[in-house]
Amino acid sequence: MPRPGRRGRLPFEIIAGRNSVRAALEARRREVATVVLDRSAGGVPVDEIRRLAGEAGARLNVASSRDLTKLVGGDFHQGVAAYVARIPTPTWEELAAAARAGRPLVVLDHVEDPRNLGAVVRAAAALGAGGVFFPPRRQVGITPAVAKVAEGGLEYVPTLPVSNVGGFLGQVKDAGIWRYGLEADGEAQMGELDFDEGAAFVFGGEGTGLSLAARRECDAVVAITLASDVSSLNVAAAAAVTLYEFRRQHPLAEAVDRRG
């Protein structure tokens, strides 16, 4: 089984998927110690990863597809995985300041599907969120499967555990940040509410929605208007819609036009 390099002292974690590994190599926010390629993988995307790995000083290893699947815990790796150092964690003061300046916080209240968590992280990164927070219990953590779905989003938005969602939302309030819960029976409708520039958005778990403790902490509970025969959006879709509406109201100064 391939082993990580030992150049750094930070603990290493595994990411998988061509876009995830390429993003880590391009972003240069953390050390990429070793890139592991399926020995049969080829083509322009893999050649580009090889080139970027060489520029980053990462070790290149090859393995069978079976070994890669065993390494990352599934067959979603697209023939590419990497051992990467953990991204340095911003301080709460830095995250709160960023939120007050228009980079909203995303708070997840027990999301259990890794595909949903990965998609939330991807939307958060794409729409300029300041961080994604989640409780470590009864919630999926950051796994190679999450990294694959996030498609490189983990390189651009901090993902941080919080011991208690309700307590954390109290801390968010103390920092002067407005807290908006998303729920189908919300009192306000998306598009009719002006979000404060300093905002945190709270999303409940699949099938359960917001917990009572989290809902009580929210300054407003917002509903997304849907067609009459559709009951709800999943948490990842709800996060993307909400963050897009926030960004429509509060555009990023450095926003780039990426169409298509």
154-191: per-residue pLDDT in tens?
999 999 989 889 999 999 999 999 999 999 889 999 98
How do the domains of the chain map onto residue ranges? 12-85, 92-249
Q: How far is CA 73 from CA 34, 66, 169, 207, 251, in A?
A: 18, 10, 33, 26, 39
State how far the Cα of 198 lies from the Cα of 201, in Å rounded to an integer. Answer: 10
State how far the Cα of 194 lies from the Cα of 215, in Å rounded to an integer. Answer: 19
Pairing of strands 80-85, 159-161: unpaired
pLDDT of res. 141: 75
pLDDT of res. 88: 84
Please give the model's pTM, rounded to 2 decimal places. 0.84
State how far the Cα of 233 lies from the Cα of 138, in Å rounded to an integer. Answer: 21
CB-facing half-sphere around the CA of 33: CA atoms within 13 A: 18
Q: Is 3.30.1330.30 the CATH classification of the domain at 12-85? A: yes
50-94: per-residue pLDDT in tens?
999 999 999 999 999 999 999 999 988 999 999 999 888 899 999
State the average pLDDT over residues 194-219. 92
Q: Give the residue with greater pLDDT, 1 vs 156.
A: 156
Q: Which two tokens stand for residue 172?
A: 């968010």
Residue pointed to by tokens 């990294």: 147
CATH class of the domain defined by 92-249: alpha beta
